[in-house]
C-alpha cells in the first residue's frame, strides 16, 4: 500500500476540493445519526478531508471529535474552516488510521467517503475495533451510490483507490469483530455499520 501516494493525491486536490464536495446538508446529519452520534459522543472521523462532516457532529453536540487525514493540505482547509471551535472539542490530526492510537476510546468511528482509499481492510477493521469502546459503533458510508462512485473512480490510480464492493460483501470483513446491524446499497445510498462485539 502506498500511503505517501494517497496523501499526495489528496494534497493535490485540496485547494479545489470544496468546489466539488457535497454542500453541508441533512445527509451529513443523517450519516452522523446512523453512526449513533449524540450529545456527549466521542467521535473519530477517518479521512475527514476538508471537514465536510464536522458541522453535523457539532450540531449533534458531540463532546469530542478527532478528525484524521493523511493529507496536510486537506487538513489545512479543515482547520481554517473550524478555527473558531476549541481544540478540546474538535482536533484535526495528520495521521494514518492504520497506526493511530488514542488513550480514550471513542463511541463512534465514521469512515465517510474514504473507505475505497484505505486499501488494507483487515488492518482497518482491527484499528477501528481497537479505538472503540465495547459496543461502540462504526459506520462506513458514502454520499453517492456504489455504481456512481465506482464510475467516478474509474480514472483514479489503483494504488490510490479500490472499487467499492456490494455492501453485503464488504461487511463480511467486519462481521467477526462487529455485529452488523445496518446496511444499504441502493442507487443513491451506500452504508454499513454495527457495534463492537
Q: Rule CB under 6 A: which residues touch ligand SAM?
A: 6-7, 10, 21, 46-49, 52, 68-71, 74, 96-98, 112-114, 117-118
Give one DSSP letter per residue of 119-154, joined into a string.
Answer: --HHHHHHHHHHHEEEEEEEEEEESS-HHHHHHHTT
Distance (Å, whole) CA 178 – CA 182: 11
Nearer to ligand SAM, 10 or 178 (CB): 10
Q: How far is the CB of 147 from ligand SAM (least distance, A)?
A: 17
CA atoms within 13 A on the CB side of 89: 16
Q: How far is the CB of 82 from ligand SAM (least distance, A)?
A: 14
Q: How far is the CB of 172 from ligand SAM (least distance, A)?
A: 21
Nearer to ligand SAM, 40 or 157 (CB): 157
Nearer to ligand SAM, 27 or 196 (CB): 27
Q: Is 182 helix (H, G, I), strand (E, B) or coil?
A: strand
Residue with cell 450519516: 31
Q: How far is the CB of 187 from ligand SAM (least distance, A)?
A: 19
Q: What is the CA radius of gyration of the chain?
A: 15
Nearer to ligand SAM, 49 or 194 (CB): 49
Q: How far is the CB of 9 from ligand SAM (least distance, A)?
A: 8
Q: What Å distances lie between residue 113 and 87, 89, 103, 153, 161, CA to CA?
A: 24, 23, 26, 12, 11
Nearer to ligand SAM, 147 or 197 (CB): 147
Amino acid at each position: 500500500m502506498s500511503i505517501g501516494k494517497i496523501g499526495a493525491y489528496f494534497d493535490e486536490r485540496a485547494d479545489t476540493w470544496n468546489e466539488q464536495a457535497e454542500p453541508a446538508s441533512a445527509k451529513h446529519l443523517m450519516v452522523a445519526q446512523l453512526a449513533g452520534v449524540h450529545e456527549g459522543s466521542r467521535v473519530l472521523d477517518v479521512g475527514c478531508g476538508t471537514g465536510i462532516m464536522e458541522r453535523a457532529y457539532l450540531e449533534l453536540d458531540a463532546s469530542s471529535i478527532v478528525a484524521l487525514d493523511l493529507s496536510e493540505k486537506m487538513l489545512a482547509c479543515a482547520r481554517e474552516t473550524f478555527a473558531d471551535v476549541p481544540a478540546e472539542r474538535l482536533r484535526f490530526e495528520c495521521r494514518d488510521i492504520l497506526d493511530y492510537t488514542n488513550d480514550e476510546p471513542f463511541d463512534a468511528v465514521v469512515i465517510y467517503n474514504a473507505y475505497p482509499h484505505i486499501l488494507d481492510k483487515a488492518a482497518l477493521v482491527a484499528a477501528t475495533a481497537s479505538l472503540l469502546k465495547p459496543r461502540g459503533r462504526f459506520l462506513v458510508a458514502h454520499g453517492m451510490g456504489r455504481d456512481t462512485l465506482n464510475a467516478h473512480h474509474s480514472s483514479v490510480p489503483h494504488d490510490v483507490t479500490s472499487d467499492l464492493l456490494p455492501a453485503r460483501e464488504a461487511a463480511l470483513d467486519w462481521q467477526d469483530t462487529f455485529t452488523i446491524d445496518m446496511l444499504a446499497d441502493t442507487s443513491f445510498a451506500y452504508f454499513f455499520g454495527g457495534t463492537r462485539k
